[in-house]
Chains A and B, each alone.
Chain A
Amino acid sequence: MALEYSVELPLDRAPSDGEAELVARAAGGEAEAYAALVRPYERVAYRVAMAITGGSADAEEASQNGLLKAYRSLDRFAPGAAFRPWLLRIVVNEAHNVVRSAIRHQRLGARASEQHDAAIPGPEDAVVAREEVETILSALRRLPEADRLAVALRYFAELSDSEAAALAGTSKEAHRVRLLRARRRLKTMLEEADD
């Protein structure tokens, strides 16, 4: 028997030498280097996409497309800059594109089925966890786009206020105001849902 697992401790934002090397190799066309470069960010990309799109199919499309577009855009990545916020900016744009596209509407029926299927099988805890996910995502979907993005960047992408503000194209103060407003709205919605 053989098991392999890794535990990733919280990453500092500054790019490491190893990451910078991977960026350079990937920009030079080494696909393996790019796969290694983005692997630590697959989950956060999907998380953010899920928060913005609200559905797993849309989130997968947005995150996968975002990672692919980032690969195609590596020549525009500034050497020495933090890779994670740069990558997430692309994923966020892709997520917004998915939300705005007609494709999303075509998938509504499929999503309803997907949610139904996910809630039936599995252990009790899994069902409870899935219900909580749907409750949170449903509340997020009802937030204004800017507020939803603020929450996604803070709690799903775990960016600092400065990074989130830069990614959202706003000031740090404005980002904080949005976050405060979004939290207030979310709490109200979730308290109503809990009753």
Chain B
Amino acid sequence: MTDHELELRLRAVADVIDTEAPAFDSSVLRGASSRRGRNRIVALAAALAIVGAAAAPVAVSGLRHLFGVDEVKELGPVPADVAPPLPTFEGRKVTLDALDKMPFAVRELPSPSRPTAAYVRDDIAGGMVTLVYGDGRLLTEWPDKRVDARITIVPTSGKAEDVKIGSLPALWIEGTARGTFTLIGADGAVHKERFDVGKGVLLWKEDGIAFLLKGATRSAEAARIAATLAR
């Protein structure tokens, strides 16, 4: 076993453990105020209890290999700190030739034609590329040593399911949806952006690169498209 293989096994185990991690039970704070805030915590206790109840996850069947999935009964409003959606995650529009200068190897779908447009986000740590194809598909990719997604499902309709891209685990989400990307800016600041899942989204990662594919209508189709990117 090489060091690299050992590292992969350890990181994979960390990913599995992630799916089992309990959320912090913030209700205990009601009886344990910080030393500087004993007086103020009492006033917040009631409000916090409501927040905690709304966000309390219930069991979701199946292991999520890459992403923790929580199921709740009611989805709260969009947090105030979430920026409006960016339909294509677009940033700076670049030529396809410019993709060669990205700090990671950008992969393209082997479709009949090359992307009709490419966008680069310079404001995100590590960079993010979105390729737009003429048939409506969008492929967003970014270097990511860890994809740590938290998914909240309102079980009125729609679904999130595990799929396979060859041997790679992936997550398919479909239906009308609201997503939030938590991004780390190149300046180190954390910011959040909202986007619409639309017809469906496939999320997966391979070789340290995370991928998000939009535009496929079914999970099998998305997985088939994604498989063409595999190395």
Contact = CB atoms under 8 A, between A and B. Distances in A.
Interface string B153-166: 11011101010000
A35 B149 contact: no
Nearest to B62: A123
Interface residues of A, number: 66
Given A46-B17, A64-B22, A74 B34 contact: yes
Contact of B124 (A9, A19, A34, A67): A9
B197 interface: yes
A120 interface: no
B181 A133 contact: no
B20 interface: yes
Nearest to A69: B32
Interface string B1-33: 101001101111110111011111110111011
B231 interface: no
Main secondary structure of the interface of A (DSSP, over half): helix
B215 interface: no
Interface in B93-131: 124-126
Contact of A30 (B16, B40, B126, B197): B40
A39 interface: yes
Interface string B176-201: 11111111100011111000010000
A12 B145 CA distance: 12
B173 interface: yes
A2 B75 contact: yes
Given A32-B51, A35-B48, A46-B17, A187 B1 contact: yes
Interface in A15-66: 16-19, 26-32, 34-35, 38-40, 42-43, 45-47, 50, 56, 60, 63-64
Contacts of A102: none
B147 to A, nearest CB: 6
Contact of A29 (B41, B63, B75, B146): B41
Interface of B: 1, 3, 6-7, 9-14, 16-18, 20-26, 28-30, 32-41, 44-45, 47-48, 51-52, 62-63, 65, 67-68, 75, 81, 124-126, 142, 144-154, 156-158, 160, 162, 169, 173, 175-184, 188-192, 197, 203, 210, 212
A145 B173 CA distance: 41
A183 B150 CA distance: 31
Nearest to B20: A56
A30 B9 contact: no
A155 B11 contact: yes
B29 A71 contact: yes
B179 A17 contact: no
Contacts of A32: 26, 44, 47-48, 51
Contacts of B65: 125, 129
A128 B213 CA distance: 28
A29 B184 CA distance: 27
B34 A155 contact: no
B44 A123 contact: no
B36 A75 contact: yes
